[in-house]
Structure 1
């Protein structure tokens, strides 16, 4: 599969209906690691997350195929929000399954769109399994947040925008949950900037992809609570993103909860930018290992800004 071609096709589908987000040079992080660090601000994307790209690409692809069944998905919030927005944009019905503990602000944002919402389970992975089974039983189209070629390709359009502004960056860092974001970006970058290192960043409390890649086989690991709710939970055993991460990701960095919180505060202090926990994971990776990024150009994908008031309050009060 030439996934980079899928990324290019995805860009044609979505470019007029998502933001081309800024690539901001960070004096703060550049000075910290004695290199050149850029922030790809998907935190300023429509819906506040990169997830708007993949969802729109998938639903446009469904329309192109002439498929009529109800599209449904499962999400902790950001993917569901992107999906809901895309449904409204394309004037189609859709349904979002959410875990009971999904962030309230994200749930309310999803409900602001004309989609059906149903709750099941307390772990994002359990919600995914239930949603997929329910879709199969009803003949619906299940849209995975990450285990889907068109979703991955849509997220990969970020790679096109990065290379349009910065040729051959030394490193690109992205937070990894199910692996759709880094698989999409990595597939495009591997074709057009093969010397670039692709680095996956995960919270220590939810490291399933990194542990699985390092073990060379799927490992199911029970997640602990994390500020990085956008990347929390496991991934499906047969997910195409596992093979892609094995092939494309050069290194993984694990980040503690205190380091995530510190990165969120630092983004407010140094750039006046509000980011969510999953974005803080990638930012914290450069803060944690500055020597790894010295004398190079590095892009951090700041994946989202949808942090709840309660979590933000806990971060700012530390």
Structure 2
């Protein structure tokens, strides 16, 4: 199942033609204030405006619409992939079951249920939900759909890169949050294939950094998972995930951000850019803010991966203002 960056980029081109009528080509929005103090040109790829509030719709729609996808599907999610899978199942009349951790944001849970799919709550974090979904699939009653460890899922996320290249004449740097690796693997593959001069920054949450730690070690490693505002990128990764070698081949630099830096980025987006996003989206901006002084005169893109933020999270970071 291993795939190269060039193969992934070509799959993204194919996926785009299949999913185009079902997704929103999100805008590339110039920053109002962020980056100005260091003369860095900044744009936000606003996947928070996607139909489901997250980039995950692209991968799910790519997988569910692929010709080789057959049978009753089961998947796992911290919320956003589940919403995307439910949306895709509803749009394409497919049978999908979504396994979610018990900590899923209530607003995300309600969105998933609204599409009429089967929902199972299991485990304290996304990794445990994935293991349960895989076990149910191993029984033979379902076909497992990974939220990240699948060439078609990764290709769907890569369509974001195709849009960015069309929307911006020059991209010097792109900042992408890292969870399971499907987003950075997809976008990174597209950029390295069609815009090789673009530097790819992967941004990890210190409190749950399975992919970053595995990239450093050269193989999948277990890490401690602590609560993080970037809950959509929390959790472990599959032992055989194709996203690890793919990320290692396309990511130029990994940045790690703590909760205080994520809060600062959430506040910058809310008060300087008039955008409310979830912590995993702010994580990418936190990475940019960490190195912004080094990027004077350069064109930068921060991928805002989602905007499905719960009221409790909003109250939490607003109270720190």
Compute the TM-score of the two structures, normalised by the length of structure 2: 0.96
Q: 2: CA distance between counterparts of 1:167 and 1:189?
A: 13
SS, match of residue 15 in structure 1:
helix
For residues 71-108 of structure 1, what are the alpha-carbon distances to aligned partners after superposition, in whole Å with 9 as ceiling and x for unaligned?
A: 11000100000000110001122100011111111111
- The residue aligned with 1:268 is 270
- The residue aligned with 1:15 is 20
- The residue aligned with 2:224 is 222
Give the count of matched residue pairs. 315
Query: Deviation of residue 233 (structure 1)?
Result: 0.8
Q: Is the 8 A contact 2:32 2:273 kept in 1?
A: no
- The residue aligned with 2:300 is 298
Pair 66,268 (structure 1): closer, same or farther in 2 beyond 3 Å: closer
SS, match of residue 237 in structure 2:
coil
Q: Is the 8 A contact 1:189 1:196 kept in 2?
A: yes
Q: Is the 8 A contact 1:278 1:303 kept in 2?
A: yes
- The residue aligned with 1:153 is 155
For residues 48-69 of structure 1, what are the alpha-carbon distances to aligned partners after superposition, in whole Å with 9 as ceiling and x for unaligned?
A: 00001000110000xx2372x1
Q: Is the 8 A contact 1:93 1:114 kept in 2?
A: no
Q: 2: CA distance between counterparts of 1:212 and 1:312?
A: 31
Q: 1: CA distance between counterparts of 2:14 and 2:69?
A: 17
- The residue aligned with 1:178 is 180
- The residue aligned with 1:24 is 29
Q: 2: CA distance between counterparts of 1:293 and 1:180?
A: 26
Select the residue among 111, 114, 124 that pairs with 1:112.
114
Pair 66,122 (structure 1): closer, same or farther in 2 beyond 3 Å: closer
Query: Deviation of residue 126 (structure 1)?
Result: 1.3
Compute the TM-score of the two structures, normalised by the length of structure 1: 0.96
For residues 250-294 of structure 1, what are the alpha-carbon distances to aligned partners after superposition, in whole Å with 9 as ceiling and x for unaligned?
A: 111111111111211111111211100000101111222212322
Q: 1:1-318 counterparts in 2 under 5 A?
A: 1=3, 2-61=7-66, 64-65=67-68, 67=70, 69-318=71-320
Q: Is the 8 A contact 1:105 1:308 kept in 2?
A: yes
Q: 2: CA distance between counterparts of 1:291 and 1:232?
A: 28
Q: Is the 8 A contact 1:33 1:286 kept in 2?
A: no
Query: Deviation of residue 127 (structure 1)?
Result: 1.1
SS, match of residue 262 in structure 1:
helix
Q: Is the 8 A contact 2:176 2:183 kept in 1?
A: yes
Q: 1: CA distance between counterparts of 2:254 and 2:38?
A: 18
Query: Deviation of residue 33 (structure 1)?
Result: 3.1
Q: Is the 8 A contact 1:199 1:250 kept in 2?
A: yes
Q: Which segment is superposed worse, 303-312 or 162-171?
A: 162-171
For residues 212-265 of structure 1, what are the alpha-carbon distances to aligned partners after superposition, in whole Å with 9 as ceiling and x for unaligned?
A: 112222221011000001101111111000000111111111111111112111
Pair 66,190 (structure 1): closer, same or farther in 2 beyond 3 Å: closer
Query: Deviation of residue 202 (structure 1)?
Result: 1.1
Q: Is the 8 A contact 1:202 1:281 kept in 2?
A: yes
Runs of at least 5 residues in structure 2 that lack an aligned partner in the other structure: none
- Over the aligned positions, Cα root-mean-square deviation in angstroms equals 1.1
Q: Is the 8 A contact 2:34 2:268 kept in 1?
A: no
